[in-house]
Amino acid sequence: MRFLRPPFYIAAVLLLAVAFGFAVSAHQQQAATNTSVPRPTIVFMTDFGTANDAVAICKAVILGIVPDVRIMDITHQVTPFSIEEASRFLAGVSPYYPAGTVFLVVVDPGVGTSRKAIIVKTKKGQYFDLPDNGIITPVTDRDGVEGVREITNTAWMIGDKVSSTFHGRDIFSPSAAHLAAGDDWTQAGPEVRDLVRLKPVVATMDAKGISGEVIGLDDPYGSLITNVQGDDFKQLGYAIGENVTVQIANKPYKFPYVKTFMDVPIGQALLYIDSRGRVGFALNERDFSKTYKISPPVPVFIPRKGK
């Protein structure tokens, strides 16, 4: 026997099918939108430290302008006022982020002076919102410059009441937020033709060996970072496993040249090529800087093998 479905039953089924279809379609459209329009990203670095409220205030300013932004931190423990250290960190991190990323950097010993607040767009398509004090030099040398703007438009600042000592809050954070929001970066202010450049100390090689400098510490481990490039060191003739006599701060030391820390016993010193391709000095599971009482900047000399 065949049972006939009442008309209202068939209509209800059809309505449910249509509703389900709309729901699936809306979900697919939303998924497509989320895939095609990634969240804006700001990569943030300062020398503010974490013992005060400065970083949190800057992030609050950013979120007030672009609530859906993703804020990534490089560090807020840059050695205070160290433009050179900040530039090294920025150059090391920026290659790992895509075009469109906004880098917000506030290491600014000249805050409140005539130094410019700028936005740099590189040929890689990244934006750098920072003081014009040389921090950007290694990045622009590597990636090239598409354009530079001075931040003078008050609409890109916190308002008319800009302090003389907290441009991180009043100028750099709001302008970085406008960049992340997709606003036209050329509206930030007039074009800048010349940038302040850093003049980093560069290691030199001669017939005797390489003269360089300890330029930083790999904290929290206390390993010494030098400006001696690993490729240059390899021209000196040493093989893995050999001892190398070096001078650090004009004192002689002898360390084995090895690939990694566990190639020597715990507590023993070593010479190695670090992950950035530079010569470093470390103690396996100990703090080299504290043990040897060496802090940057100090000179380094590595002789050619046999000299």
Query: What pTM value is reported for the model?
Result: 0.83
**What pLDDT is recorded for position 15?**
54
Span 193-242, pLDDT tens digits: 999 999 988 999 999 999 999 999 998 999 999 999 999 999 999 999 99
Place of tokens 């998924």: 31
Strand 127-131 versus strand 102-106 pairing type = parallel
* Residue 256 structure tokens: 């084995």
**What pLDDT is recorded for position 24?**
45
Nearest to 94 by CA among 39, 151, 49, 138: 138
Residues paired with 299 in a beta bridge: 213
Answer for the pair 303, 253: CB distance below 8 angstroms, yes or no: no
Span 30-67, pLDDT tens digits: 544 445 567 899 999 999 999 999 999 999 999 999 99
Alpha helix segments (H runs only) across 37-134: 54-65, 83-93
Alpha-carbon gap, residue 252 to 247, rounded angstroms: 4
Nearest to 139 by CA among 127, 150, 151, 131: 127
Which residue segments constitute the domains of the chain, with CATH numbers given?
Answer: 41-188 (3.40.50.10790), 204-303 (2.40.30.90)
- Give residue 272's Cα distance to chain centre: 24
- Give residue 85's Cα distance to chain centre: 11
Average pLDDT estimate for 266-294: 97
DSSP per-residue codes, 126-157: -EEEEESSSTTHHHHHHH-EEEEEE---GGGS
191 SS3 class: strand
Averaged confidence pLDDT in the chain: 91
Going by the DSSP 8-state scheme, the letter that residue 257 receives in this structure is B
Under the banding of pLDDT at 50, 70 and 90, the label for residue 160 is: confident
Span 107-130, pLDDT tens digits: 999 999 999 999 999 999 999 999
- Which residues fall within 8 angstroms of residue 240, CB to CB, at 6 or more apart? 257, 258, 259
Residues paired with 117 in a beta bridge: 131
Neighbour tally for 199: CB within 10 Å: 8
**What pLDDT is recorded for position 36?**
56
Average pLDDT estimate for 79-90: 96
